[in-house]
Amino acid sequence: MEKMRLTMLPLVVLVLGFVTRVSPGCRKLEMGTEEDPEVKEAVDFIQEKVIITVLLGPEFIGLDGDGGDDTGALHNIKELNKAPSISNHRYYQHGDSSLPNLRKCPSVKCHRFLAIVMDSSGSVGSDDFQKEAAFVKTLSKILLMKANEYNLKMCLTIIIYSTNVRVVTNACCGNSLCAIIPKLDQLLTYEGGGTNTAGALKVARQSLQGSSNYGRSVLLITDGQSNDMHGTIQVAKSMREEDEAKIIALGVGTGINYDELNGIVGSSNGDSLERVIHDFNQFHELANILLAKNTAGGSKTYETICDVNSMKYNYC
């Protein structure tokens, strides 16, 4: 595999509500067993576009090994103490008094930064939100294992939105994934209400710029159309064009607005950035398959990586 050097390239990944109808630009993935070609396609898509790309990014992959997969040691890993930060005059201010206003924290340094933005609106419902939360917890464990494998530090912010927007865990608090994961059952609580996707993306954009890092990502989960389609698309466009962000969409549910979905994703230069799968039950199943895939071959697990001393959680 050709060696590639690290560059600062924000990435935004959206996981959007699973849908049952399909537009020309989106693909529906019905799930059964892992041997099902469509399930394998969904697993491969999330493995490549969400797990590997969020953590490493295509510009990060310069691996020792046979060059045929994502195993091995990264080349040219940047030093954490040299991680760049956004200048004060460029730091994003959303100007909305109804939203959380996150402070800048350049002293928090990471190779990769991820903000997970979770839909807790009334259309999701309490039961499906718990499946969404289980997926987020499983994904967090996988990202921890991958970061440990490649000796990278990853920062994590989690945001829940419905009518209001709530920051569940803030990367500026300096918590490790080992500290965050045990708290997720307590922190990820259902709210109900509207679908303020634009507000959630505004807070996520601000959060992305808070720490010093070499690469940023957002994972947005929603089950349908936002309250403000135009505002949502405009925030996403700003993140793509001004923050050089890539947006990837994976749909879950029955209420997707495809015009909004495609407006959020934008042009992909031929690279498929949308996937559609069926419902939250399959979302949960998919998480379990991905966990098994990423723990095969004797990889260290969350339980073996984290010790009691690394699980102290800081509130800020």
3-state secondary structure of 160: strand
At CA 55, angle to CA 147 and CA 44, rounded to 5? Answer: 110
CB atoms within 10 A of CB 229: 16
Most confident of 51-55, 209-213, 255-259, 265-269: 209-213
32 pLDDT more than 60: no
Amino acid letter at 265? V
Q: What are the Cα distances from residue 157, in Å, to 13, 169, 211, 293?
A: 14, 5, 11, 25
- Give the mean model confidence (pLDDT) for residues 252-266: 79
180 pLDDT more than 60: yes
Grade residue 196 by pLDDT with cuts at 50, 70 and 90: very high
Query: Across-strand partners of 74?
Result: 63
User: What pLDDT score does 261 carry?
Assistant: 77
Helix 197-208 / helix 229-241 crossing angle, nearest 10 deg:
20
CA dihedral 29, 51, 184, 34 (to 10 degrees): 40
212 pLDDT more than 50: yes
User: What pLDDT score does 12 carry?
Assistant: 54
3-state secondary structure of 219: strand
Strands 165-169 and 154-161: antiparallel
What is the sign, positive or negative, of the torsion defined by CA atoms of 163, 166, 168, 169?
Answer: positive
Among residues 300, 303, 308, 282, the alpha carbon closest in space to that of 19 is found at 282
What is the sign, positive or negative, of the torsion defined by CA atoms of 85, 89, 94, 95?
Answer: positive
CA 111 – CA 153 distance, rounded (Å): 5
User: What pLDDT score does 151 carry?
Assistant: 85
Structure tokens at 33: 């067993």
Among residues 269, 197, 195, the alpha carbon closest in space to that of 236 is found at 197
